[in-house]
Amino acid sequence: MVAEIFRELGYEGATMSLITARTRVSKGSLYHFFPGGKEEMAGEILAHIDEWFAINVYEPLEREAAAAAVARMWGAVDEYFRSGRRICLVGAFALDETRDRFGSVIRGYFRRWIDALEGALVRSGVDAATARRLAEEAVVGIQGGLTVARALKDKTIFSRTLGRLRQRIDAAIAGA
Amino acid sequence: MVAEIFRELGYEGATMSLITARTRVSKGSLYHFFPGGKEEMAGEILAHIDEWFAINVYEPLEREAAAAAVARMWGAVDEYFRSGRRICLVGAFALDETRDRFGSVIRGYFRRWIDALEGALVRSGVDAATARRLAEEAVVGIQGGLTVARALKDKTIFSRTLGRLRQRIDAAIAGA
DNA sequence: GTCTATAAAGCGATAGAC
DNA sequence: GTCTATCGCTTTATAGAC
């Protein structure tokens, strides 16, 4: 709910007044739950996102049968970003002045995603160099797809991007 | 100069006080040149970006020999984004609340880029469906590469992304 | 715990001297 | 044209009643 306000308007755009108005929770209560104020709220939202990706993306990629985990990733990503209607808050924070504030979380999000996908591809028989290249390409492509989809107000761009990346990775797994 | 402040901190993060401090031009003078204030400044910066891309990217793609124009695009893009040290202000604006304010400029930037690249690929003999797919993939990939490069503070991600996209498009032109 | 009222600071923008 | 001083408003954050 609050996360959606940040996703829609960015860190600066999501003012406390707007958050109280939309959640119908007063500032007093908001500061009761988040004594650290806005920064703590955003921090917990980022932690929640990281937890979701850990459970639904990173851990399956790290632990489950590689091909199945990769297949599962596409579904999870498509679901999470609502097929392109939602942007990636971590990516958005990486581009503005919040970058420094949440730098380590932002770095961890992208690094772990790329590393986990690379690992799964290696385990499924793809050679190391190709796995690294494909993993980086996938995470980069997803971010770009979300950005351009929102810029053009055309969510089909994200779907097509996801489809292209999936096809390429599936081919590498099949050919391994 | 001012553009760099916006690129670094985003629309909200680039406050007028900060702009006066860094440019050593007082607010009075700033408002003398930009009566419309901050919004006008950002608008002119976006217009300047659009002009640069029109001259160095779109028009060559639309007018020059297709293969040469595509080759030129990679150089122009790498130069403009300083090999990944600079982000795309248009992409950043697409993700925050400025999206609505500059919506048509943002849409125009991405649409014209994809369309121009698609056109050049078609003219160089690539079939229509493949050209559209490759053009979209390139612009999406560039945006994603810039985002992830900044998030991981690793500009080599952008270089590798550009290399991958270039290779794929060159192969399509060569095979056409 | 939840609220209203308000403080303190920073914001974009303006006035007016020079 | 450029500056300083300041306006009016919004921001984050707090105080204190209930």
Mean pLDDT in each 10-residue stretch from start to end of chain B (176 residues)? 97 98 98 98 98 98 96 98 98 96 98 98 98 98 98 98 98 94
Contact B13, A97 (CB under 8 A): yes
Q: How far is the CA of B31 from the C1' of C16 (A)?
A: 14
What pLDDT does A176 receive? 83
What pLDDT does A151 receive? 98
Taken in order B164, B168, B169, B171, the sign of the CA dihedral is: positive
Distance from CA of B157 to the nearest CA of A (A): 8
Distance from CA of A99 to the nearest CA of B (A): 8
Percent of chain A beyond pLDDT 90? Answer: 99
Residue A133's Cβ-side half-sphere holds a number of Cα atoms within 13 Å equal to 14
Sequence-ordered list of residues with C-beta below 8 angstroms from that of A84, at least 6 positions apart, any chain: A145, A146, A149, A150, A155, A156, A157, A158, A159
A25 touches strand D (CB under 7 A): no
Summarize pLDDT for A131-154 with one digit per residue, the tens. Answer: 999 999 999 999 999 999 999 999
Report d(CA A2, CA A49) in Å as an integer: 13
The C-alpha angle with vertex B42 and arms to B40 and B45, in degrees rounded to 5, equals 110
Structure token digits, residue A15: 């003012």
Structure token digits, residue B33: 């040149």
Residues of B whose CB is below 8 A from A92 = 95-96
Over residues A117-138, mean pLDDT: 98
Report d(CA A144, CA A91) in Å as an integer: 10
Of the candidates A10, A8, A4, which has an alpha carbon nearest to the alpha carbon of residue A94? A10
Which nucleotides of strand C come closer than 7 angstroms to any CB of the protein?
Answer: 1-6, 10-17
Over residues A144-167, mean pLDDT: 98
- Alpha-carbon distances of A141 from A29, A159, B98, rounded to whole Å: 40, 11, 23
